[in-house]
Amino acid sequence: MAIFTGAGVAIVTPFHEDGSINYDKLDELIDFHCEKKTDCIIICGTTGESATMTEEEHMDCVKFTIDRAKGRIPVVAGTGSNCTRTAIDMSKEASEYGADGLLLVTPYYNKATQNGLIAHFTAVAKEAKAPIIMYSVASRTGCNIEPATVAELVKNVDNIVGIKEASGNISQIAKIMAMTDGKVDLYSGNDDQIVPILSLGGKGVISVLSNVAPDETHDICEKFFNGDIAGSAALQLKALPLVEQLFCEVNPIPVKKAMQLMGVDCGPLRMPLTEISKAHEETLAKAMKEFGIKLA
């Protein structure tokens, strides 16, 4: 059984003006998503600015989210690292806290060969017992998970169950599904490719869009699963201008501004991310209004 099906939110991390984590606001966001149609919370991913967190902050955030979600919806913890030992330690800790799953990004900067990726993911899976979703996003990490590597890991390691595919390469994604006989839980890592990936047997999306439009993102998936392919596609296409604006600058710069425009102030970004430009703020607000999101 998949960790979740549908739309999981790659949740932002709210900060106080001094840069510390705003747990009161995070608590509000967790409640918001549990009360909406969000199907899963993914904490401490790229959108959550995990790259700027200390390990202590990272794991405190994971534990807080698991405790506050209280089993209402699944929680997947981002526990990837470019250091295998660090990824093992964080993954073990998140598993002990009760994470429903782990999201492991490929090692970044030092990267790895495909054999290195097999060794890395296998080592983490051996010690952390929660189900693992691999995360392939070469545009950020410089390291792609090839289809043959996905197939080997899914077939040979029991608790490696899925992949978040953000390569943007539909041909690669189709090859993954062919080489695994469809026996991998496939999630879109791109909000503009939800329907194409569902059509290949995907289970859903790990979504930035869900931060501002959780019900609509869920509905794209639900309509598809219920056989309303035309309705699902129509929602996907309607969302494209907004999705484009949510990535007009480096994620999560635009989505945090979008939430502020909705009246949900999640505080500043951590350096080296900086505030959105005025021109992009205006085009973002316009896309939000056209999508039907009420601004504060």
Point out the residues that are catalytic.
135, 164
DSSP letters, 104-144, are EEPP-SS---HHHHHHHHHHHHHH--S-EEEEE-HHHHS--
Cα Rg for the chain, rounded, in angstroms? Answer: 18
The answer, yes or no, to whether the previous bond of 147 is cis (omega within 30 of 0) is: no
Yes or no: say if 4 and 221 are a contact pair by the CB < 8 Å rule: no
CB environment 135-163: b (16+ within 10 A), e (fewer): bbbbeebebbbebebbbbbbeebeebbbb
Q: Two tokens at 111?
A: 């990267």
Distance of alpha carbon 111 from alpha carbon 117, whole angstroms: 9
Distance of alpha carbon 34 from alpha carbon 72, whole angstroms: 6
Look at residue 239 and give its three-state secondary structure. Answer: helix
